[in-house]
Amino acid sequence: MATPRVAKQERSEQTRTEILQAALDLFSTRGFAAVSVRDIAERVGVNHAMIRYHFGGKEELWRESAAYLFDRLAQEIPAPEVAEGESSVEALKQYVRAYVRYCARHPEHARLMVQESIVPSERLKWVSDNYIRPNHARTLRLIENTRLPEGLAGIDPVMMLYMVVAIAQMPYLVTAELEFSHDRAVLTHEAIDAHADAVVKFIFRD
């Protein structure tokens, strides 16, 4: 049985995670400017002074929530390491499938980055320097060291990366539109698996 001190620490960590997830949900749907610390506190059911005590102001909370998001990405789908010159098409396919499933589980990730990428900001520069650039560097090494289909030869690897990201994310950015316009429920296990397979087939011409 956990001691009172351990139980208190566990509750505190759970509350912290709930605050970060609520911040991500609100920042990703409303945008940074339209969200207040009080909004996030209301969503979690805590006093806004607690958030300020643990995280400081809204800017610091945004950075903490973004760090939480990218750390979770690294834990859930670590990029496979591919040795120089090694061909690993299957590893890349599995990585793409895992990324599609991640996008379906956590649509707030893509939504947050779309919100932040519309106009330049210090937040975008910070997250790019600390997370996006190094993450993309690892993925680009994987792309560049994989023997891709002939039809993909000559495509700028950076643009190819963004193309893959776009088709992987899109159904989970516009879930409401797909439901209203096409009666599609894209968040079922079957639909997610089908989309993952379709993305791989589209890229690799399988």
Per residue in 185-200, pLDDT (tens digit) is: 999 999 999 999 999 9
**Mean pLDDT (whole number) for 129-158:** 86
What mean pLDDT, rounded, does the chain reach?
89
Q: Do residues 196 and 101 make contact, with C-beta atoms less than 8 angstroms apart? A: yes
Q: Which domains does the chain have, with CATH numbers?
A: 1-60 (1.10.10.60), 77-204 (1.10.357)
Query: Which three-class secondary structure state does DSSP give residue 142?
Result: helix
- Say whether pLDDT at 136 is over 80: yes
Q: How far is CA 56 from the centre of its chain?
A: 24
What percent of the chain has pLDDT above 70?
Answer: 91
Start-to-end CA distance of the chain, whole Å, equals 53
User: Which of 193-199's residues contact partners 24+ apart within 8 Å by CB, and which partners?
Assistant: 195/100, 195/104, 195/171, 196/96, 196/97, 196/100, 196/101, 197/97, 199/96, 199/97, 199/100, 199/164, 199/167, 199/168
CA distance 92 to 99: 10
Question: Average of pLDDT values for 29-58?
Answer: 92
Distance CA 166, CA 91 (A): 20
Q: What is the pTM of this model?
A: 0.88
